[in-house]
C-alpha cells in the first residue's frame, strides 16, 4: 500500500531558482493517471470539504462531506485519499480522458502540480516531470518566488496529511 510522502523541502540553490520554470497545463490528463508509486490522490480535511462542494455544484447533489468521503474516499495507513475505483488507476473524476470533473475543488496535490517538493531537484525533474508532462517549458514563466510559494503550499498539505489534518 502506498503511504503519503513525508514532508520535504527543496534545498536552496536549486536549478529553477535562477530563471524560474515555464509551465502551462496542456490538458493532457497525464497527471490524473496512476504511474507506479504515484497513484493515490491524497486528501486533507480542507481538500475533502472543497471537493464535496465542487461535486455537489457540478452534479446538483447535496452530499455532506462525510457522505462524499464514504462514497469516494478511503484511508490507507492513516491517510485519506480518493478511492481507486477504475481498473486502470485513473482518477475517478477524470472525464473524457483529460478533464477534471471537480476542477474547482481539486485537492492541493493536483493544484500544485508540477511543483511538488519531491520532484524539484534537477535529476528527478528531468526523469519524472519534464519527460512526462507536456506543459513543461510552455506558457508563462513561474518566478522562483512563485515556485517556492507553491512548493510551500504542497509541503504544508503533506504535513497536514501525515498529521491527520
- Quote the domain boundaries for residue 71: 21-162
Residue 55, C-alpha cell as written in the block = 461535486
- pLDDT at position 85 over 80: no
- pLDDT at position 81 over 80: yes
- The verdict on residue 92 lying in a domain is yes
- pLDDT at position 25 over 70: yes
- The verdict on residue 136 lying in a domain is yes
End-to-end CA distance of the chain: 20
- The verdict on residue 115 lying in a domain is yes
- The verdict on residue 130 lying in a domain is yes
Give the pLDDT confidence of 95-147 residue by residue, as tens digits.
887 888 999 999 999 999 999 999 999 999 998 899 889 999 999 999 999 99
- The verdict on residue 13 lying in a domain is no
Into how many domains does the chain fold? 1
pTM: 0.83
Greater model confidence, 164 or 79: 79
Question: What are the b/e assignments for 144-161, b being 16+ CB within 10 Å?
Answer: eeebbebbeebbebbebb
Q: What is the DSSP string of 93-118?
A: TEETTTEETTGGG--HHHHTTT--GG
Decide if 109 contacts 155 (C-beta within 8 A).
no
Give the pLDDT confidence of 46-71 residue by residue, as tens digits.
999 999 999 999 999 999 999 999 99
Bridge partner list, 23: 136
- The verdict on residue 138 lying in a domain is yes
Tell the residue number behind the cell numbers 510522502, with chain if given.
5
- The verdict on residue 97 lying in a domain is yes
CB atoms within 10 A of CB 131: 9
Amino acid at each position: 500500500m502506498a503511504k503519503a510522502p513525508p514532508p520535504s523541502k527543496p534545498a536552496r540553490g536549486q536549478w529553477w531558482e535562477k530563471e524560474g520554470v515555464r509551465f502551462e497545463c496542456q490538458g493532457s490528463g497525464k497527471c490524473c493517471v496512476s504511474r507506479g508509486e504515484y497513484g493515490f490522490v491524497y486528501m486533507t480535511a480542507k481538500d475533502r470539504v472543497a471537493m464535496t462542494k465542487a461535486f455537489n455544484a457540478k452534479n446538483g447533489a447535496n452530499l455532506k462531506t462525510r457522505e462524499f468521503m464514504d462514497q469516494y474516499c478511503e484511508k490507507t495507513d492513516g491517510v485519506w485519499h480518493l478511492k481507486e475505483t477504475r481498473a486502470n488507476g485513473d482518477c475517478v473524476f477524470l472525464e473524457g480522458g483529460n478533464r477534471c470533473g471537480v476542477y474547482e475543488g481539486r485537492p492541493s496535490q493536483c493544484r500544485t502540480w508540477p511543483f511538488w517538493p519531491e520532484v524539484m531537484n534537477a535529476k528527478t525533474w528531468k526523469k519524472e516531470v519534464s519527460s512526462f508532462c507536456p506543459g513543461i517549458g510552455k506558457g508563462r514563466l513561474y518566478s522562483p518566488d512563485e515556485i517556492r510559494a507553491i512548493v510551500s503550499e504542497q509541503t504544508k498539505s503533506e504535513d497536514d496529511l501525515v498529521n491527520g489534518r
